[in-house]
Amino acid sequence: MSSSYREIMERRSEILDRALGIDYGQFEQGALAFDYEGLLASTGRDLDEVQAIQRSRGVGSTPLLELHNITDLVRSISPAGFGARILVKDEAANPSGSFKDRRAALSAHVAAERGYRGVVAATSGNYGAAVASQAARSGLAAVIVQEAFDSRGYGQPEILEKARKCEALGAEVLQTTVGPELFSMLLSVLEDTGYFNASLYTPMSVQGIETLGTEIVDDVRALTGRDPAAVLATHAGGGMCTGVGRGLRARGAATQLVGVSVDLSGLHMASDQQFNRKSFTTGHTGFSVPFTTWPDRVDVPRNAARPLRYLDRLVTVSQGAVFHATELLAVLEGLERGPAGNTSLAAAVVVAQELPADEVIVISETEYTGAGKTPWSQLEFASGLGVEISTGTGRGTAGSSIVLPLSVRDVAIEDIRLDDLRASYVRTAGRTVGREFTDDEIRFLAEDSGWSDEAVLAVHRG
């Protein structure tokens, strides 16, 4: 069959249908609305069954660690009586070293159960490693399609490290330059191999993360006898916030879910010239903002990750703050971990100062580290591109400068107004249909955005 870009994109629907075995049409309720809970329930498994599958594969039940020394440091600069206890769920203990094993475990299990010979995923890295690991446990082949280089052939150390990890776990890694070829290559591989599409955005993937939320609540209740005041979750494509949020709700926890992203505003993620001028390959605003304001920009017909349904707050941190948090965790707690969880840790040292000392906050993840993930590798690469590296206060300018805090006092967060993101989502929905919303669409958009029917209508009618 022809593999030209145009023709492969024309076959998109039939390729994805074969590669997933999910009839998304049965959940559709018009141009905008769909049965979200029905889609999530289509896995046919409840949380206990998902957790049993994960445990049989060595996934989950990860340690909850208290960061005593960082908590003491935060209290030393907090007002009297403030400085919440900071705990972290050590997801680096999973087989491939990140929480992504939770979402890959169920996908690999379903792929094997349905008779697929292999799995394919399009990802910058950690999820690819998880898919490779879980495929190996199922006796399946794995192909990872990774956007890795700019047009000159340069790749970030973190991305190359993730590719090494995928290959070490037995996957074949196909790397592309930045641009639309990532999706067309994914489609080509799915068509040529007949493998399962282990997308980040399927019901299996999101349901797999729900156990992280339930474990956090169960662990904190066992340790403290109460619910965590807040869980901080690094926000990129929305899966972490959605899955953890659903898990918190499943346990009836009175807990605020705080999404955290690295502020890369001003950089265009699809720009060849700007692609390598970001020092974070995930967990940044280049993913979190567009995926929050229009979730269905993905490799499946409907995205099961819908973060606005679950977020109570969304904050950003600077690149320098994450590098600082990485050093704090290593030097004060003896835990060398990668940047994903440390993005939330950077925000946690500020959020903890806002809360009484008898409260508890939890960072939802850690991830493995490696040579390419360390601050030194990323900073050296950035410096080689002409990015100015300095120390002191300020957030820096994404793609031009990185400011490394000298003290935890210099770490700051900025809130993103969720209502602004909700309004952007509703306006995009309005442009998509080009007419008045139906009553069903209003109700769906209100549920999907975490807003009221009246607020949806007010924005739509403008």
Tell if the pTM clears 0.75, that is, is over it: yes
User: In the chain, what percentage of residues exceed pLDDT 90?
Assistant: 88
Helix (H) / strand (E) containing 324: helix 319-333
User: At residue 82, does pLDDT exceed 90?
Assistant: yes
Identify the band that residue 275 occupies on the pLDDT scale cut at 50, 70 and 90. confident
Write the secondary structure of 126-175 as one string of H (helix), E (strand) and C (coil): HHHHHHHHHHHHHCCEEEEEEEEECCCCCECHHHHHHHHHHHHCCCEEEE
Angle between helices 319-333 and 68-77 in degrees, nearest 10: 120
Residue whose entry in the numeric block shows the structure tokens 């590719």: 163
Give whole-number Cα distances, 352 to 144, 366, 408, in Å: 38, 18, 12
Which tens digit of pLDDT belongs to each residue from 58-69? 999 999 999 999
Mean confidence (pLDDT) of the chain:
95
pLDDT recorded at residue 4: 81
User: At residue 276, does pLDDT exceed 60?
Assistant: yes
How many other C-beta atoms lie within 10 A of the C-beta of residue 9?
A: 13
pLDDT recorded at residue 206: 97
User: At residue 31, does pLDDT exceed 60?
Assistant: yes
pLDDT recorded at residue 180: 76
pLDDT recorded at residue 181: 84
Cβ 263 vs Cβ 211: under 8 Å: no
Give the residue among 64, 61, 335, 48 at the shortest CA–CA distance from 224: 64
Identify the band that residue 3 occupies on the pLDDT scale cut at 50, 70 and 90. low
pLDDT recorded at residue 462: 87
| Assigned token pair, 205 | 């993937």
Please state the rounded mean pLDDT for residues 371-396: 95
